[in-house]
Amino acid sequence: MTLLKQKIEQLIAINRQQWLAECVYRYGLKSTDMWRLYGYASYDDYRKDLARSLQQK
């Protein structure tokens, strides 16, 4: 059961990274408080996910 939970959490994180890249780079939605809207704990976590999403493309 914990393996399933870990896999689901991993897939949710990947999906969030993809949506983040789509919204920020394709649609140009940039805001200083955007990280809060996406549910990140801090601005640094938001920037790290954004960098990861760019590496995936």
SS3 track for 21-42 = HHHHHHCCCCCCCHHHHCCCCC
Q: Give the integer Cα–Cα distance in Å for 1 and 16.
A: 23
- In 10 A of CB 54, how many CB atoms? 13
- Tell me, what amino acid is at 57? K
Q: What is the DSSP letter of 27?
A: S
Q: Is residue 7 part of a domain?
A: no
Domains held by the chain: number: 1
pLDDT at 11: 92
Q: Is residue 40 part of a domain?
A: yes
Q: Is residue 37 part of a domain?
A: yes
pLDDT digits (tens, 9 = 90+) for 1-57: 899 999 999 998 888 888 888 887 788 877 677 788 778 888 898 888 888 877 765
Q: Is residue 2 part of a domain?
A: no
Q: Is residue 4 part of a domain?
A: no
